[in-house]
Structure 1
Amino acid sequence: MPTIRHQDAFHIAFCVDNHYFRAMGAMIASIIAHNPRRRFVFHVFAFHVSEDNARRMKEIELNPDIQVVPHVVDPSLFQGFADMIASSYYSLSTFTRLIVPSVLKDVTDRVFYLDADMLCIGSLDELAAMDLEDTVALVVEDVGWSTPEGRDGRYSVLGMKARHYFNAGILYINIHEWEKHRISETAIELLLSNREKLTFNDQDALNIVLEGRVRYIPIKWNYIYSMIADLKRGKLSMDAVGDAVILHFAGLIKPWNDWSGHVARELYLRYHALSAWRDTPLDTAPLNHKEMRIHSRSLMKRGRIALGLYWYLRFAQAALARKLKR
């Protein structure tokens, strides 16, 4: 474990693969831009870090108040769950977020876990000052569009008593309490014994295991913005986000999908230009059949019928090819 230079730093963790380093870079740049007087240690968990991504992470450290610590996840970290994982169809990547507290328990007493498909548009001072002493983690309520049954239906399906269900894209974790209650171990055991029921994998498992042990904080700390909902209506502008501090672009369409034409791209580009991945291009065309279908629908909703039909044909061909491969 590299030496942590800033003992008073705010610790943030990401779990990424090589496709998400670019997104994480923009998120890190946005955090730094809106919190210029705060020291940060960014912990990056990945199964593989390319030489190029390692170089870019070192570039971030040119800022003396920032440290970026890569954690190359070795399967041995899952040794305690080896038998359970070996007898399941889950890949190790499903469990990566769950090992963050145990890896960092001797480094810091609290860590702010974040998904990489986010942007910070405000100060984290209020969050950093929050008391975690009486809770395992601070979480934010999920929104109905991201769970097929809606919030009520989701907690009902999972057999939870409380009428709450959180989105695990952010978790402000009290590491001591997390470890004391064996949250990760229990969540993994639950995942492996309830595969069909836990549609949202570790998010579902964490909601069950952490019921009654978390504190809900305002939605501004995980404001989920659905670009796909806009595009399906042919809408390219962004709705107002109120007092949101962290925007979470959950769902299929992301602000680095340049082909979408959505205004969210402009917000993303603002921070992408400040990041160590600033010279990496955005996605200029849909990459899979699902993106092609959304692009086709958006174009036709906006009256661009010919182009929309072209992308619908591309979607149909890609979907057929995928079906024939099965």
Structure 2
Amino acid sequence: MITSFAACDMHAGEALAMHAGKAGIMENDQEFHIAFGVDANYFRGMGVAIASIVEKNRATHFVFHVFAFQVSDADQRRLDQLKKAGSVDIVVHIIDPSVFDEFSAFPSFSHFSSAIFTRLLIPAALQRITKRVLYVDADVLCVDSIAELISLDISNAIAAVVEDSGAEAVKMQCEKLDLTHRRYFNSGILYINIENWIANNITQLTILKVLESEKKFMFPDQDALNIILDGRATFIDPKWNFQYNVEGFLKQGDVEFTYPREVKFIHFTGRLKPWHNWNLHKSKYLFQKYQKVSPWAAMPLDAPRNHKEMKMFSQFLFKRKHVIKGVAWYCRYMLNRFMTVTLKSQ
């Protein structure tokens, strides 16, 4: 099912509600809405994330909303297979790029990919379909029941969030962004009260903050959301967004994969993802476990695609004392980098 919308406003939400109503997807007490915003590079990750959520929550009926600028025929077929196999609803919302036309007058707009604003479109698009929605990044896996989160009362909240990992990093971001309440959250998982979000104009204010700010944001939409929701976000337990940076562990030579028993969602932050075949960390086995029960089961893990990834892979190999293979990949890195620089200079 594919739905298009042209503007992030009341009309878009009403159009989606009418379309969804015809398909029988109107909110009731037995279903829970989860949304993703993805591009082509993250479709497999999102599909496996959905498979993990379904696997750990068999008694819950989910409506998954996929927001994207385009969907390949192959990915659409996989989503259809996932829908049939999991007894879930999956609604694809194709984003019309003209939704951002009102911001094109900002000189800074061209500096950003429209994809970073995708998650901000979700509340308006779903406002006549559900009162609440859980936004989930595509690099997240569910490892336990989320019944407790589903039953959480967020009637007085705008969004329930989890603090970003690393005390020093959080402190630095709070100072950099001048956050009065000294708390900085990771936006990879947002449990949104749609009515309160829209009433407080969060989407519009966040986009404007990105485009107007003279600050150089490290994570544009996340940093701007933290400014707009400073003192207004509801912080919940870290188990709902347990952030795991695989690259950091591999740089230390640590390939073992452990996490606290109470964790519900594992969020693989950083550049290295569990669907990369050059990931030497054992976390990728968890990803492969859920991929095997998804329509993406036959898809091989991603090889290094550019000279930066090739260099990282060679460094990980050296760290693991795989010298010959490390040298081979370092040579591939040097060749790829040389060709890249040569092409840019022509």
Q: Secondary structure at the match of 2:44?
A: helix
- Code of the aligned partner of 2:27: Q
Could you state the TM-score of these two structures normalised by the residue count of structure 1? 0.93
What residue number does 2:27 align with? 7
2:259 to 226, 230, 240: 240
The count of aligned residue pairs is: 322
- Code of the aligned partner of 1:245: K
1:59 aligns with 2:81: yes
Return the alpha-carbon distance in structure 1 between the equivalents of residues 107 and 35 of structure 2.
Answer: 24
What residue number does 2:284 align with? 265
Aligned 8 A contact 2:127 2:195 in 1: yes
2:199 to 180, 199, 212: 180
Cα gap change, 1:196 to 1:244, in 2 (>3 Å): same
Q: Work out the percentage of aligned pairs sharing the same amino acid.
A: 41
1:306 to 324, 328, 335: 324
Aligned 8 A contact 1:232 1:294 in 2: no
Deviation at 1:78, TM superposition (A): 2.9
Cα gap change, 1:197 to 1:49, in 2 (>3 Å): same
1:98 to 95, 107, 120: 120
What residue number does 2:15 align with? none
Return the alpha-carbon distance in structure 2 between the equivalents of residues 173 and 227 of structure 1.
Answer: 28
What residue number does 1:169 align with? 188
1:46 aligns with 2:65: no
1:209 aligns with 2:266: no
Return the alpha-carbon distance in structure 2 between the equivalents of residues 247 and 64 of structure 1.
Answer: 21
Deviation at 1:304, TM superposition (A): 1.4
Cα gap change, 1:244 to 1:87, in 2 (>3 Å): closer
Return the alpha-carbon distance in structure 1 between the equivalents of residues 90 and 306 of structure 2.
Answer: 32
What residue number does 2:11 align with? none
What residue number does 1:20 align with? 42
Return the alpha-carbon distance in structure 1 between the equivalents of residues 280 and 218 of structure 2.
Answer: 31
Q: Secondary structure at the match of 1:139?
A: strand
CA RMSD in angstroms, aligned pairs only: 1.9
Deviation digits for residues 214-240 of structure 1, max 9, x if unmatched?
111111111111111122123222133
Q: Does 256-265 or 130-139 show the bigger shift?
A: 256-265
1:117 aligns with 2:139: yes
Q: Does 41-50 or 299-308 show the bigger shift?
A: 299-308
1:296 aligns with 2:314: yes
Deviation at 1:323, TM superposition (A): 3.8
Q: Secondary structure at the match of 2:41?
A: coil
Return the alpha-carbon distance in structure 2 between the equivalents of residues 113 and 195 of structure 1.
Answer: 28
Could you state the TM-score of these two structures normalised by the residue count of structure 2? 0.88
Return the alpha-carbon distance in structure 2 between the equivalents of residues 316 and 196 of structure 1.
Answer: 35
